[in-house]
Amino acid sequence: MTRTPAGRTAGLPADYPEFLSGLKTRIAAARTRAALAVNSEMIRLYWEIGRDILDRERREGWGTKVIDRLAADLRRDFPEMTGLSRSNLHYMRSFADAWPCERGSEEIVQQAVGRLPWGQNIALLTRLEDRDARLWYAGKAVENSWSRKILEAQIATDLRGRQGSALTSFDHSLPPPDSELVRDAIKDPYNFEFLGLSETAKERDLELALLNDVQSFLVEMGRGFALVGRQFSLRVTDEETGEEQEFFIDLLFYNYILRRFVVIDLKIEDFKPEFAGKMNFYLNAVDELERQPEDEPSIGLVLCPGRNKTVTEWALRGVDAPVAVARYTTGEMTLTDTPPAQFQGALPDLPELANGLSNIVEAANAIYDESPSRAELREA
């Protein structure tokens, strides 16, 4: 086909690309709605089956043998359905028992657990006993579109207990609504089990290892984090002499939910008071050089393997900028009785992002090793 000078296919309307793009968006949205509707109907059916079994157990004393026979009969009559096994019927019973609904199945599909796939609901039932914890993780799974693998990993590493538990200066550096929102975006400790670092690793090794597995790193950081760069250059000019000094931030993120830059300083030693002062300088520099008018003030996160609570709190007491100090572990976390799931491959919908970031990091590493200028880093 010949094309017009403007790149438009000859014979097609000028607005055809926009029309096609709009149709593709609508088709994708309709497919998503259809999938959600199918899932809701399945969850509704499973809850109703579980409720009926539970009722008959209580009224008529149904036992395991009856459920075994029920599973066999249902599989015979509905051979194309894969969810009518004996074990799944028991899960349906447990599901209805865990989520009693006065208004019936219509109520269950309106809850977070009703919007989750069945596999995620099984994970909630088998890995958690507390109703509030199940509700919390169900809400997070819906909000963040977690796969079952990610949900199991977050439960195994006690995300609920880790989120918002870092030591921070937020109480006196941020207004109350912002303080709570930002605090919830920070964990303590962070789980970097996927790194496999040796005991002799240095800070640069830690930094490179995190970026070599960008996908797992982004999962652990949480929702809204986007990587801006590693060894991000800050050039500060002396107003009196005109002399310029260059400083490098280990990792610079932007959180599009908080609308803030997030400066991360990686340490391989336990927290020291001087780390807080260094981070305070970084935040002032980022706000002066990088922050846009629509951005909120930047926040800092010092990541270290350990910290003394009293020393850390005293160090943060005089810091006006919002700074958090959180620990990390590179070994297996034992916060729950369930062994942690592997993060590798946990985001099948982000492989292109992960590969692209890895390529950018490799290119940046090569340039950085030759003492790059800020312009060269940006070109990379």
Same domain, 101 and 247: no
Q: Quickly state the pLDDT bin for 348 (edges 50, 70, 90).
A: very low
Same domain, 315 and 261: yes
Q: Please provide residue 335's backbone torsions phi and psi, each rounded to the nearest 5 degrees.
A: -75, -20
Percent of the chain with pLDDT over 90: 11
Lowest-pLDDT range of 189-193, 223-227, 264-268: 189-193
Is the Cβ–Cβ distance between 301 and 260 less than 8 Å? no
Asked if the model's pLDDT at residue 284 lies above 60, the reply is: yes
Q: How far apart are CA 305 and CA 230, in angstroms?
A: 20
> Domain boundary at 88, 116, 145, which?
145
Residue from 333, 331, 327 nearest 312 by CA: 327
- Say if 3 falls within a structural domain: no
- Say if 109 falls within a structural domain: yes
Contacts for 163-167 with beta carbons within 8 Å, 24 or more apart? 163/187, 166/301, 166/324, 166/325, 166/326, 167/307, 167/309, 167/312, 167/313, 167/316, 167/324, 167/325, 167/326
Asked if the model's pLDDT at residue 197 lies above 60, the reply is: no
pLDDT of residue 124: 93
Residue from 47, 35, 41, 143 nearest 94 by CA: 47
Asked if the model's pLDDT at residue 379 lies above 70, the reply is: no
pLDDT of residue 154: 81
What is the arithmetic mean of pLDDT over 320-327?
87
> Domain boundary at 145, 179, 207, which?
145
Same domain, 166 and 73: no
Asked if the model's pLDDT at residue 237 lies above 80, the reply is: yes
Same domain, 197 and 57: no
Asked if the model's pLDDT at residue 282 lies above 90, the reply is: yes
Lowest-pLDDT range of 128-132, 162-166, 187-191, 337-341: 337-341
Asked if the model's pLDDT at residue 198 lies above 70, the reply is: no
- Say if 365 falls within a structural domain: yes
Residue from 173, 182, 204, 206 nearest 192 by CA: 206
Residue from 320, 251, 259 nearest 284 by CA: 320
Same domain, 172 and 108: no
- Which residue intervals of the chain are DSSP H helices? 16-60, 64-77, 86-98, 105-108, 118-127, 131-144, 148-156, 159-162, 170-173, 176-184, 203-212, 214-221, 273-289, 309-317, 351-368, 374-379
For the segment 73-88, what is each residue's pLDDT rounded down to a tens digit? 888 888 888 888 888 8
pLDDT of residue 368: 40
Residue from 364, 363, 339 nearest 156 by CA: 339
What is the arithmetic mean of pLDDT over 177-183?
75
Same domain, 77 and 221: no
What is the arithmetic mean of pLDDT over 331-352?
39
pLDDT of residue 169: 80
pLDDT of residue 366: 45
What is the arithmetic mean of pLDDT over 350-363?
43
Asked if the model's pLDDT at residue 340 lies above 70, the reply is: no
130: left (phi over 0), alpha (psi -120 to 50) or beta: beta
> Domain boundary at 145, 170, 186, which?
145
- Say if 11 falls within a structural domain: no
Q: How far apart are CA 302 and CA 318, in angstroms?
A: 16
pLDDT of residue 289: 92
Element (H, E) at 246: strand 244-255
- Say if 350 falls within a structural domain: yes
Asked if the model's pLDDT at residue 320 lies above 70, the reply is: yes
In total, how many domains does the chain have?
A: 2
pLDDT of residue 286: 93
- Say if 4 falls within a structural domain: no
Is the Cβ–Cβ distance between 235 and 255 less than 8 Å? no
Same domain, 339 and 277: yes
pLDDT of residue 335: 36
Residue from 108, 88, 84 nearest 98 by CA: 108
> Tokens for 186?
């920070």
Same domain, 194 and 259: yes
Same domain, 256 and 359: yes
- Say if 39 falls within a structural domain: yes
Same domain, 181 and 141: no
Residue 237: give its domain's CATH number: 3.40.1350.10
For the ranges 62-71, 112-121, 284-293, the one whose mean pLDDT is highest: 284-293
What is the arithmetic mean of pLDDT over 122-143?
89
Higher pLDDT, 36 or 295: 295
Provide the mean pLDDT of the chain. Answer: 76
Asked if the model's pLDDT at residue 376 lies above 90, the reply is: no
Asked if the model's pLDDT at residue 151 lies above 80, the reply is: yes
Give the CA distances from residue 253 to residues 44, 55, 236, in Å, rounded to whole numbers and listed in that order.
41, 52, 20
Give the range of the structural domain holding residue 195, as residue numbers without chain letter.
161-379
Element (H, E) at 325: strand 323-329
Lowest-pLDDT range of 41-45, 66-70, 329-333: 329-333
Same domain, 327 and 220: yes
What is the arithmetic mean of pLDDT over 211-229?
76
Same domain, 108 and 250: no
Element (H, E) at 250: strand 244-255
What is the arithmetic mean of pLDDT over 258-264?
90
Quick one: angle between helices 148-156 and 131-144, nearest 10?
130
- Say if 10 falls within a structural domain: no
